[in-house]
Amino acid sequence: MTVIDHTEAGFLPISRAAEQLRVDAVRNRIATRLHDVATEIERAHKETTRIERSYGESTKVNITEIDDAMETNAAVQQQKQMVARSVENEQILGREQKVLRRLQPSPYFGRIDVVDPDGKESLYIGTGSMQDEDGEFLVYDWRAPIAGVYYNGVLGPVTYDTPGGKRRVELARKRQFRIQKGKITNLFDASETIGDAMLQDVLGQESGEQMQNIVATIQREQNSIIRDTTSQLLIVQGAAGSGKTAAILQRVAYLLYHDRHSLTSDQLLMFSPNRMFAGYISEVLPSLGEKNMIQTTLSEFLELRHAGIAVQSLFERYEIDQDGVPAATAAMRAHKESAAYMNAVREYALHAPHLHFIDIELDGRVFFSKETMAKIYHEQPQAMSAADKFAAVRKTLMRRLNLRIKMEASSDWVDDAMAGLTESQVRRYTKGEQFATGEDEVTAVARAVVAEKFAPVYTALYDDYFIDIYAQYRAFLDQHEQDVTTPDVWAEMARAYSRDVERHKLLLADAAPILYLRDLLTGSGENHAVKAVFIDEMQDYSPALLMYVHHAFPNANMTLLGDREQDVFGSSYKHGDATAAIAAAFPRLRSRVLELNRAYRSSRQITDFATALLPKNPGIQAFSRDGVMPRLELAPRSQLNQRLVQRAAELRARHPRVAIITRSAKEAAGLTLQLNEQAPELKAQLLDANATGVGTGLMVLPVYLAKGLEFDACIAWQVDQEHYGPKDGLILYTVATRAQHELLLLGTDTPDLLQGPIHAGLLVTNGTPDAAKLAPSD
Ligand SMILES: Nc1ncnc2c1ncn2[C@@H]1O[C@H](COP(=O)(O)OP(=O)(O)OP(=O)(O)O)[C@@H](O)[C@H]1O
């Protein structure tokens, strides 16, 4: 490694005072430029208005003369281009103004000193780029190729990717800043990757109502997720609090920058675990100057596609599962959620012998009967796929519909209807078309009148409302061979399915297979506009669901993030490694699996305790931020509520955001009521499935809604023998890892689950009768 004299000409000075001077200079430049940009925007706007006005006038003046009209046409084109240019100019200036405003209080967060064949340079990195009068970069956008060095490189020789291939430089210094309102409040030199000092500083702060961007402190392994532009399927398995969500969001910002000429935020789709989470993350992209991607939840997505049917949500299923899942139900559910089952659906869709057609009716009378449809279907060549036969039925019926329209056009009711038409109604029917003869016009209007009346038939054909997909799926269930349960149990399940459908209800496990079947048979359901799909909490998605999402967005690369240890919904019935099952469901995609094992959210003490709850430690390392030990507090049942009030008040006095986390929504609702009666001054707020944002104060919520969120302090409610069984380690792990700084477990006695961690000295307890038993052993 070359030894570099940092004070040599080429690098900028390194003293804090010199750095502050540079910050001041950059901010001065920002202020001047902001002033100029405002003037330029005003000028550009006036220009746009002027061109638009004169464009109007020039058309008015010359339009009467034929020759002039042609001339005007050319002039109009020219004017249009001028308006477009002027508007574009305004937009460019507007964008610059936004970047400058964002940079003004804190122009950058990093500096790298690099040596390349052209010499030595100090480069500064921020959330956007800006240049000086000579076009020299004062700040580089964190997504620029050279900025990769800041995140990836250790000091010494490093390479970074550019559009033209890899480049090699020597990294001589890496420095991090915290700049607030133009003043450097902290400055660290990092010898390795982004140093711990800055991260300590950031993570030690109180949590916020909304997630913040992490661009100043992205870690090396997170960077490789963010900057991956080649994988079609990127799977990130990461410990709780390891920055998966953070990485996904910075990745969106990175992709929008990297592919800025071909990609827009409305081509990116994010599946969030719930609406509240969507609100929680909604500020990250705007803080980086990007628009938010489209956001949805699994429930919303499924309900939209199963119009008119209430699809069971993960939450509903979880609440029911709390009473126990019978073994046969668990086995059938796991089977229906497997890739193998989806493949069986595909196989069936290819060769379905009979389709469950339904009559298309008009005004209460059958227009096309299901028998006719079945006849056309069976007339198709045997070797044809079911989907092609279905398409042939649709095409034939469309042709017949057109024929019926032509024939019907000469019937008496049409004559009567036409007699009463006004001029403007006729124009609406002919859509401004010119006709050679009056007779042609009459025929056209007559057909349009009939077409309007027959429109529902057209819609039914167009939207595939002539197949009963739910009955078709029942037919699939009836012929499906499986070995997960007895034929009788399977048949009973199939009958229960049909009873549910009659009541417009559907179990979650059937939702994706039915959609898949429908899409494969009818050739519909694909959205080609979406270029990338991001799924947070992938452990909540079965391989079947993921396969369907992939089918629905065939042009999209997929980024899946999750934590197999936070399988709150599946812990009661799933076995095996979900990540492996997911990767196996997509054998044809170029895929990459990455792991994030460093947990950043919680203090070391909380992370160590939470990790001890897992059956085997998957290699999670706590980030070295010290805090207080998690506590277990036991109290007799009669005193538990009082203790809760007391502890919640204490924690609130220390922290702005405290959560009480229950097992179920019902418990959360009941507890909030009680708290508000007992201690109204605590202002406990219930967060339920309809909540759209997380607030500040004392919040009460069930564990499954807490996923993905974080709080300064968490109280895990009723962690005792009665409420936490030996298999509930993953649930308690999820609860525990929501806490950044303090964790308190409240219960009436010690669940078996806690014996391990307690004896390992990872939990302290209060002076209860159990204290001696619970005291950390040495
Ligand atoms: N490189 C980083 N710099 C600063 N903060 C970070 C970094 N990585 C993660 N964090 C912070 O750690 C916390 C946890 O991150 P995040 O929510 O993305 O984790 P996660 O893996 O999605 O967690 P979970 O699975 O528990 O929902 C957040 O507050 C995030 O801002």
Q: What is the 3-state secondary structure (H, E, C) of 559-593?
A: EEEECHHHCCCCCCCCCCCHHHHHHHHCCCCCEEE
Burial 469-488 (b: 16+ CB within 10 A, else e): bbebbbbbbeebebebbeee
Ligand 1 center–CA 134 separation, angstroms: 39
Assign 430 to helix, strand or coil: helix
Q: Which residue lies with its CA nearest to atom 16 of ligand 1?
A: 243
Q: Which residue lies with its CA nearest to atom 4 of ligand 1?
A: 214
Q: What is the pLDDT of residue 291?
A: 92
Q: What is the pLDDT of residue 333?
A: 95
Nearest ligand 1 atom to the CA of 707 is: 27
Mutate to test the pocket of ligand 1, among 601, 657, 705, 740 (most ligand atoms within 8 A of CB): 601
Q: Is 98 annotated as contributing to ligand binding?
A: no
Q: Looking at residues 117-130, what average pLDDT do you find?
A: 91
Q: Which residue lies with its CA nearest to atom 15 of ligand 1?
A: 243
Q: Is 245 annotated as contributing to ligand binding?
A: yes
Nearest ligand 1 atom to the CA of 222 is: 1
Residues of the chain above pLDDT 70, percent: 91
What single string gives the DSSP state of each residue in 204-268?
TSPP-SSPPP-GGG--HHHHHHHT--S-SEEEEEE-TTSSHHHHHHHHHHHHHHHTTTT--GGGE
Ligand 1 center–CA 370 separation, angstroms: 56
Q: Is 241 annotated as contributing to ligand binding?
A: yes
Q: What is the pLDDT of residue 186?
A: 86
- The most confident of the ranges 207-211, 429-433, 441-445, 741-745 is 741-745
Local confidence band at 7 (pLDDT 50, 70, 90 cut-offs): very low
Ligand 1 center–CA 702 separation, angstroms: 21
Phi then psi dihedrals of residue 658, to 5 deg = -125, 135
Q: Looking at residues 489-500, what average pLDDT do you find?
A: 97
Q: What is the pLDDT of residue 63?
A: 43
Structure tokens at 707: 């996923």
Ligand 1 center–CA 520 separation, angstroms: 39
Local confidence band at 567 (pLDDT 50, 70, 90 cut-offs): low
Cβ count near 33 (within 10 Å): 20
Q: Looking at residues 85-99, what average pLDDT do you find?
A: 87
Q: Looking at residues 337-351, what average pLDDT do you find?
A: 93
Mutate to test the pocket of ligand 1, among 212, 236, 242 (most ligand atoms within 8 A of CB): 242
Q: Looking at residues 548-576, what average pLDDT do you find?
A: 79
Local confidence band at 704 (pLDDT 50, 70, 90 cut-offs): confident
Burial 444-457 (b: 16+ CB within 10 A, else e): bbbbbbbbebbeeb
DSSP 682: G
pLDDT digits over 16-29, tens only? 899 999 999 999 99
Q: Is the pLDDT of residue 218 over 60?
A: yes
User: How much is the mean pLDDT over the chain?
Assistant: 87
DSSP 624: S
Q: Please state the length of the chain.
A: 778
* Least confident residue range of 101-105, 265-269, 444-448: 444-448
Q: Is 619 annotated as contributing to ligand binding?
A: no
Ligand 1 center–CA 222 separation, angstroms: 10
Q: What is the pLDDT of residue 62?
A: 47
Q: Which residue lies with its CA nearest to atom 13 of ligand 1?
A: 601
Q: Which residue lies with its CA nearest to atom 28 of ligand 1?
A: 601
**Residue with the larger pLDDT of the pair 61 and 631:** 631
Local confidence band at 4 (pLDDT 50, 70, 90 cut-offs): very low
* Least confident residue range of 172-186, 359-373, 423-437, 701-715: 423-437
Pairing of strands 360-362, 365-368: antiparallel
Nearest ligand 1 atom to the CA of 536 is: 22
* Least confident residue range of 462-476, 560-574, 646-660: 560-574
Ligand 1 center–CA 601 separation, angstroms: 6
Mutate to test the pocket of ligand 1, among 244, 277, 738 (most ligand atoms within 8 A of CB): 244
Kind and range of the H or E element at 461?
helix 455-462
Which region holds residue 725: left if phi is over 0, alpha if psi is between -120 and 50, else beta? beta
Q: Which residue lies with its CA nearest to atom 14 of ligand 1?
A: 241
Q: Is 662 annotated as contributing to ligand binding?
A: no
Kind and range of the H or E element at 335?
helix 327-336
Per DSSP, helices labelled H in 9-118 are 16-62, 66-103
Q: Which residue lies with its CA nearest to atom 8 of ligand 1?
A: 243
Ligand 1 center–CA 295 separation, angstroms: 19
Helix-helix angle 339-351:508-522, to 10 degrees: 30
Q: What is the pLDDT of residue 212?
A: 87
Nearest ligand 1 atom to the CA of 566 is: 25
Local confidence band at 575 (pLDDT 50, 70, 90 cut-offs): low
Ligand 1 center–CA 607 separation, angstroms: 13
Ligand 1 center–CA 289 separation, angstroms: 20
* Least confident residue range of 80-84, 261-265, 452-456, 506-510: 80-84
Q: What is the pLDDT of residue 193?
A: 46
Q: Which residue lies with its CA nearest to atom 18 of ligand 1?
A: 243
Nearest ligand 1 atom to the CA of 537 is: 25
Nearest ligand 1 atom to the CA of 242 is: 21
Local confidence band at 633 (pLDDT 50, 70, 90 cut-offs): very high
What ipTM was estimated for this complex? 0.98
Burial 205-227 (b: 16+ CB within 10 A, else e): eebeeebebbbbbbbebbbbbbb
Ligand 1 center–CA 592 separation, angstroms: 21
Q: Is the pLDDT of residue 770 over 70?
A: no
Q: Looking at residues 446-456, what average pLDDT do you find?
A: 91
Q: Is 289 annotated as contributing to ligand binding?
A: no
Q: Using alpha carbons only, give the angle 353, 356, 361 rounded to the nearest 5 degrees.
A: 145
Residues framing ligand 1 (Cβ under 6 A): 199, 202-203, 211-212, 214, 217-219, 222, 238, 240-246, 563, 566, 600-601, 708, 710, 737
Q: Is 240 annotated as contributing to ligand binding?
A: yes
Ligand 1 center–CA 264 separation, angstroms: 25
Nearest ligand 1 atom to the CA of 596 is: 21
pLDDT digits over 582-627, tens only? 777 788 888 898 999 999 999 999 999 999 888 877 788 878 788 8
Ligand 1 center–CA 298 separation, angstroms: 22
Q: What is the pLDDT of residue 571?
A: 53
Q: Is 195 annotated as contributing to ligand binding?
A: no
Q: What is the pLDDT of residue 392?
A: 95
Ligand 1 center–CA 247 separation, angstroms: 8
Per DSSP, helices labelled H in 104-214 are 148-152, 196-203
Q: What is the pLDDT of residue 503?
A: 97
Ligand 1 center–CA 241 separation, angstroms: 5
Mutate to test the pocket of ligand 1, among 213, 220, 235, 245 (most ligand atoms within 8 A of CB): 245
* Least confident residue range of 91-100, 244-253, 427-436: 427-436
Residues of the chain above pLDDT 90, percent: 56
Q: What is the pLDDT of residue 658?
A: 97
- The Cα 387–Cα 421 span in angstroms is 43
